Amino acid sequence: MGETQERERVLAHFSRRYRQCNPESLSTEETVHTLTCAIMLLNTDLHGNNVGKRMSCSQFISNLEGLNDGKDFPKDLLKV
């Protein structure tokens, strides 16, 4: 929970810095941002008190299909 604009500024800075430090890992800052947001949502889904049925690994992977600059993220990256 928190201020959306503040969270977005932190995520944008994190994505930019991650790409600078890991230029071969993910293709764009937007890709890093997408994956980071997805992981944050997964964490909320797994540990939140108000969540009914938890997301499965296959659901998490399918939710991210095509979001890696038009391609799928490597499955081994998403299963770590």
Catalytic positions are 3
Structure tokens at 1: 């929970």
Single-letter residue type at 42: L
Tokens 């980071």 — which residue?
Answer: 36
Q: How many angstroms separate the CA atoms of 75 and 13, rounded?
A: 26
Containing 4, the helix (H) or strand (E) segment is helix 4-21
